[in-house]
Amino acid sequence: MPELPEVETTRRGIAPHLEGREISEVIVRQPRLRVPVPGDLVERLVGARIGVLDRRAKYLLVPVLPGSPREPAGTLLWHLGMSGSLRMARIGDLPKKHDHVDLVLDDGAILRYHDPRRFGFVDWLSGTPDTDTRLARLGPEPLSEAFDGERLFSLSRGRRLAVKPFLMDNAVVVGVGNIYASEALFLAGIDPRRAAGRISRERYDRLAAAVREVLAAAIAQGGTTLRDFVSGTGEPGYFKQRLNVYGRNGQPCQRCGAELRLVTLGQRASVFCRVCQS
């Protein structure tokens, strides 16, 4: 599933091609996504211009500026689901089997949404994005100043929940999915099974720093491609080559040589080093 670094990589890749462009055509080949494509999307978008792209957690926000003073502005809310990707194409590039939605721009470029499993969606927000129920209760961005060890420490007091699913709770901090939670806990030297309420403030400071380090490195490497993900320019992510624990069950720890172990936490597979993480 594309996580925060993959969505941020997508945003950075497509933004230069979209921002300021007019939408000349909208093509919907498959409206039956996880959230059905709004039936009036064509009417809302054709003739409008695209503003500055943003991201909130794993959601991509595409502001749509009115084509005339009478038309309301709004936002396209895009989620890539488990297998979705957005890439740039040109008029004349034939769509592939699972290319469901095209935004054709006035310069001949096309933003093309590809999603074999159809677990993603594109939806229309008429109001302020933060008022949408999917966004309103989200925690802070992990690369922002609002996220730190003090927040993790204070929210974890009295919690028996294991620290890994606690870290993956979007009300605590957004966008720290399975891959990057596993890697951050390894860098911080914390056993993912340990109760969140039994971790000290000092260790949470290290964990918050590790989250920022892992996510920043993943974004710099274009995200992590395990199966389906490609960036807006069609490139895979290269952070997979830097994974210390995720997906490496039974292999030797790259730091100490001990065999990495697999456990299930919050119905998610978690690989860790029993020596380096305690």
Residue type at position 275 = V
- Report the number of distinct structural domains present in the chain: 2
206 is in an annotated binding site: no
Q: 173 is in which domain, residue-wise?
A: 149-272
Domain-located, residue 255: yes
Q: Rounded CA gap, 274 and 174, in Å?
A: 27
Indicate whether 90 and 155 sit together in one domain.
Answer: no
Residue 221 is predicted with a pLDDT of: 82
For residue 110, give the DSSP letter.
E
Q: In CATH, what number is assigned to the domain containing residue 188?
A: 1.10.8.50
- Residue 58 falls in the annotated catalytic set: yes
Structure tokens at 241: 């080559």
Catalytic site includes residue 36 = no
Instruction: Check whether 118 is labelled as a binding-site residue.
Output: no
pLDDT tens digits for 40-96? Answer: 999 999 999 999 999 999 999 999 997 655 566 899 999 999 889 999 999 999 999
Count other Cβ atoms within 10 Å, centred on residue 226.
14
100 assigned to a ligand binding site: no
The closest of 89, 84, 113, 100 to 233, measured between CA atoms, is 89
Condensed to tens digits (0 to 9), the pLDDT of residues 84-121 reads: 999 999 999 999 999 999 999 999 999 999 999 999 99
Q: What is the predicted pLDDT for the residue at 127? A: 77
User: Would you state the pLDDT for residue 1?
Assistant: 64
From the list 2, 63, 142, 192, the catalytic residue is 2
Residue 268 bears catalytic tag: yes
User: Looking at the structure, do residues 215 and 107 belong to the same domain, yes or no?
Assistant: no
Catalytic annotation on 2? yes
Set 44, 49, 58, 164: catalytic member: 58
How many CB atoms are located within 10 Å of the residue 88 CB? 19
What pLDDT was estimated at residue 27? 97
- Which pLDDT score is estimated for 237? 39
Residue ranges of the chain with pLDDT lower than 50? 224-232, 236-239
Say which CATH number the domain at 104 has. 3.20.190.10
